[in-house]
Amino acid sequence: MKSLAKLVAMILGMLGLSSLASSKKKAAVKKIDTKKKTIKKQVKEIDKELKIVKKKQVKAKKPVVRKKVKSAKDAEKFLKDFAKKK
């Protein structure tokens, strides 16, 4: 009976189905899964930063069209508005 159990254990070990082999495989898979999660988080953060940078680039490329100032009143109003923006 003992020899039969040893034989079955040996066959399962060769096939990689023993508890020791399967626990090692599960541990390796778990490590890979945690690495995947951290990489996915990093990719999401980088994508957010890229979107922000691209929006700023597009905004910087657009020329600012200003109205022509015809009177002193308009000039004063323009300067006040310009100061508020900054």
Q: Where are the domains of the chain?
A: 2-85
Question: Is pTM, for the whole model, over 0.85?
Answer: no
Q: Which residue has the higher pLDDT, 5 or 41?
A: 41
CB atoms within 10 A of CB 64: 4
Q: Would you state the pLDDT for residue 86?
A: 59
pLDDT band at 39 (very low <50, low <70, confident <90, very high): very high
Average pLDDT over residues 55-63: 84
pLDDT band at 17 (very low <50, low <70, confident <90, very high): low
Mean pLDDT of the chain: 84
d(C-alpha 45, C-alpha 34), whole Å: 17
21 φ, ψ (degrees, to nearest 5): -65, -40
Half-sphere exposure of 43 (CA within 13 A, CB side): 6
d(C-alpha 43, C-alpha 10), whole Å: 44
